[in-house]
Amino acid sequence: MVMLPFKSLAALAFSAVALASGAALVQAQSRTDSLSTGQSVSYDGFLYAGETVYATCDSDCTDLDILLYDANDGSLVASDVFPDAQPVVTAPYEGSFVIEVVMASCSVEPCATWTDSDNGF
């Protein structure tokens, strides 16, 4: 069984309003990767204050983590390292960030992962 990434209602509503108004929709797609236990992938992205970044993985994954770093000084500003397969972090302020997704536990390697945010970083 493959778990699909989820979108927030706010992001879906924004998409519908943009399409209905004829505005150009500039939203990135989910990032998809395959990671084995101990591997990670990083993405650069601009996030708004309060924007949620989330990830999920296939049914062979039992623990996936997200770490959010300030792109300017490299400081860790948020993380979700709880032992679950659906981590979520929230940007504490508007700016450029590095989003690191870490595969903490994958039983049948590699595991598929999906990473996205409310506004599609």
pLDDT tens for residues 102-119?
999 999 999 999 999 999
pLDDT of residue 29: 59
Checking if the pLDDT of 1 tops 80, the result is no
Q: What is the rounded CA–CA span in Å between residue 70 and residue 85?
A: 24
Q: Give residue-wise pLDDT tens across range 31-90.
A: 999 999 999 999 999 999 999 999 999 999 999 999 999 999 999 999 999 999 999 999
Tokens for 46? 């601009």
- 36-117 CATH, one of 3.40.190.10, 3.40.250.10, 2.60.120.380, 3.40.50.150: 2.60.120.380
Checking if the pLDDT of 3 tops 70, the result is no
Please report, for the chain, the start and end positions of each structural domain, with discontinuous segments joined by +: 36-117
Question: Which strand (E) or helix (H) includes residue 12?
Answer: helix 9-20
